[in-house]
Chain A
Amino acid sequence: MKALNGTSWPLLDIVTKTLDYVKTEALKEAGRSLPYGLQAEDVQWVLTVPAIWKDGAKGFMRKAAHRAGLIKEEGSRRLVLALEPESACVACDVHKLAKPGDPFMVLDCGGGTVDITMNTCAPSPELPRALEPERLVPRASQAAQREPFAPR
């Protein structure tokens, strides 16, 4: 990965340093009200990734999270990689907007990319809450990602 000044650095180091910084800030902020603060091993970590990412890129994030000290083993269950569109569905209580079986589209217009995914609301009448991500089973998932504004 090239920096603006032309020097090259390993991408894994850049992502690791990013996660390390956010980890430190998050633990500092969340641990302010706790008498002994908060340590990385006390926390269930969630890291969102785009739905269209390949396993290699997800594995890369897991590796970076491990190197940044979020988890002690790369395969730790203390880190969940959550898909961004599914996280968005959880955040906006999609079950209140869509009935089971309804198809719906998630448009994520971010600062750098626009991501579009199609989902179907899974039927699960036996559960009282619809917040669990497993209730959203993407059926015909189509994703598009482009880079409208950002120079590479």
Chain B
Amino acid sequence: MGCLSYLPPSRRAREAQGSRAVNSSMPKRKLESSGSSASDQPTCARLPPGASPPRMSLAAPAHGAGTVAIDFGTAGTGFAYSFSGSDDIESKEPGGQEARKTLTNLLLDDNGNFKSFGFRARRDYFENQSGAFFANYKMVLNESSAGGPQASVRLSSPPSLAAARSFPTSCHR
């Protein structure tokens, strides 16, 4: 339930009216690690009434020195970063200096240790023909067995349409 804290105060007030429906429809929605530290826990549900929740934006991340975003794609993978207080976003190829993505290809050695990733992994594999080479593994991820029972988030009852509308989908896990 970390989602409410991402809403701007004005909208949060407006949607507080519908919050009873939200709470009753998602009572059991909890993250798995119940033993984590207080500072790192979603706290929005316990914010005092007048407190303004933290805002999430690219320029002012909720935590730390900056934001790093990873685009893990089926064919290509890239990342971008931005420092707190700056609007500049740098995007880079993992393992290179180009502003492009590299291939989502992974090469492990015969013992399962990391060997190389991206264009380098493809080159290494096709030059030496050794190790375990993987491509297109993102496609397997959404198949039902991938997450396993403990990875899925269970709701005791399906969320109402109002609840679904009042949360930015990016906050859903």
Contacts and interface: CB of A to CB of B under 8 A. Distances in A.
Interface of A: 1, 3-5, 7, 9, 11, 13-15, 17-23, 25-27, 29-30, 34, 38, 41-48, 50-63, 72-78, 80-84, 86-87, 90, 110-113, 124, 126-127, 129, 131-134, 136-139, 141, 147, 150-152
A83 B170 contact: yes
B21 interface: no
A1 B94 CA distance: 23
A134 B6 contact: yes
A45 B134 CA distance: 25
B68 A43 contact: yes
B144 interface: yes
A74 B67 CA distance: 18
A52 B148 CA distance: 17
Given A77-B62, A134-B8, A152-B139, A72 B40 contact: yes
Count chain A CB atoms within 10 A of each CB in B67, B81, B173 and give the residue with the most.
B173
B144 to A, nearest CB: 7
Contacts of A58: 147, 153, 172-173
Interface of B: 2, 6-8, 10-11, 31-33, 36-37, 40-42, 55-58, 61-77, 79, 81, 83, 90, 92, 94-95, 104, 106, 108, 112, 114, 117, 125, 131-142, 144, 146-148, 151-153, 165, 168-173
B11 A134 contact: yes
Contacts of A87: 69, 170
Nearest to A145: B142
Contact of A56 (B65, B69, B74, B151): B151
B69 A77 contact: no
B75 A110 contact: yes
Contacts of B142: 50, 52-54, 57
